[in-house]
Amino acid sequence: MMKLKTLIFTFFLGTLILPLGLQAQIQQPAASPAASVSTTVGLTDVKINYFRPKVKGRKIFGAGDSFLLPYGSIWRTGANSGTKVSFSDDVVIEGKTIPAGEYLIFTVPGADTWDVMLYTDLSLGGAVHRYDKSKELGLFKVKTTKLSEKVEALTFNISDISEDNTKAAIHFEWENTSFKLPFTVDYDKKVMADIEKSTRVNPGTYVAAATYYFNTGRDIDQALQWMEMGLEPDTKQYWNVHMKAKILDKKGDFAAALAAAEKSLELATAAKDNAYIKMNNELIAQLKPKVPQGKSKKKK
């Protein structure tokens, strides 16, 4: 009888505890969900990890205690453990070199300008009361802009990537405020080191090296030499013959450039590549006035 009572009591107790256990397993949306944004600028991987608080009808930035983040107060620039940015290579911000690595982003909001700080001690998280000025890698002042439409959830982006892939910006938006922190990257040293290393052992990189030299305004004679070495196994690569024509044009050998462009046009026409047909015709039209009659070189 005692054993039966014990079993009944145990079952009853289990029915009380079970809902509490189930409740602990229920997943609910985070008030400030985690987010990340990443891209490659030049050859540098840039990533921002952060948490996204929402406005929820509150006044966020302004002067006075009625605002969630009053001007002049240091902020973790996000929710929870704050915001981190990482760079796979050194970058430059306002003339200061920022070594490759990961940093916390802290800010001090203001009416027209904000202070943006990169902080080296990741263990600090969002504990702004323990902020140590000696661990601040850099402090940068950025101008803010007022947004015409409210941004409900805090948003970071990596914007303003330049055409030559040397510049971009950390872009922040929340409520009615936006700022950008521009930075620059230098991939040239890495490319040059790779060219030097690769062309010693892999002739297939000669064309890439020649193209890079052409695009960056380096030794045009070296570019031509590499292009000819790259074309040596296969002179029917009309896209590379076209680049050779451009290199020759830049070198000032207009007759040879015209011959190369005509050869590339011939090969592209046979391949029915309309894009290169168009590009070659445009290049030929530019070259013909530069070549005196009777000076055109034999096609190669």
Note the pLDDT tens digit of each residue in 125-176.
Answer: 999 999 999 999 999 999 999 999 999 999 999 999 999 999 999 999 999 9
295 found inside a domain:
no
Tokens found for residue 24? 């602990």
Is residue 86 a part of any domain in this protein?
Answer: yes
Could you tell me if residue 180 is inside a domain? yes
Q: Which two tokens stand for residue 202?
A: 């892999």
Quick one: 161 and 260 in the same domain? no
Same domain for 55 and 133, yes or no, is yes
Indicate if 148 and 242 belong to the same structural domain: no
The CATH number assigned to the domain holding 202 equals 1.25.40.10
Confidence class for position 294, pLDDT limits 50, 70, 90: low
Confidence (pLDDT) at 202: 65
What pLDDT is recorded for position 31?
A: 87
Domain co-membership, 181 together with 73 = yes
User: Same domain, yes or no, for 200 and 277?
Assistant: yes
Binned at pLDDT 50, 70 and 90, residue 19 comes out as low
Asked whether the predicted pLDDT for residue 10 surpasses 70, the reply is no
Q: Decide if 137 contacts 120 (C-beta within 8 A).
A: yes
What confidence score (pLDDT) does residue 192 get?
A: 83
Tell me the backbone φ, ψ of residue 188, rounded to 5 degrees: -60, -45
- The H-assigned helical ranges of the chain are 2-25, 188-201, 206-215, 220-231, 238-251, 254-271, 274-287
pLDDT of 173 reads 98
**Per-residue DSSP letter, 54:** B
Domain boundaries, position 205: 188-290
**33's tokens:** 């969900």
At residue 179, does pLDDT exceed 50? yes
143 and 205 share a domain? Answer: no
**Among candidate residues 157, 185, 213, the one where a domain is terminated:** 185
212 and 270 co-located in one domain: yes
pLDDT at 110: 97
CA distance 226 to 287: 22
Q: Which of 185, 206, 221 is the last residue of a domain?
A: 185
Same domain, 95 and 109: yes
What total of structural domains would you count in the chain? 2
The pLDDT value recorded for residue 235 is: 78
pTM listed for this prediction: 0.65
39 has pLDDT over 70:
yes
**Same structural domain for residues 178 and 269?**
no
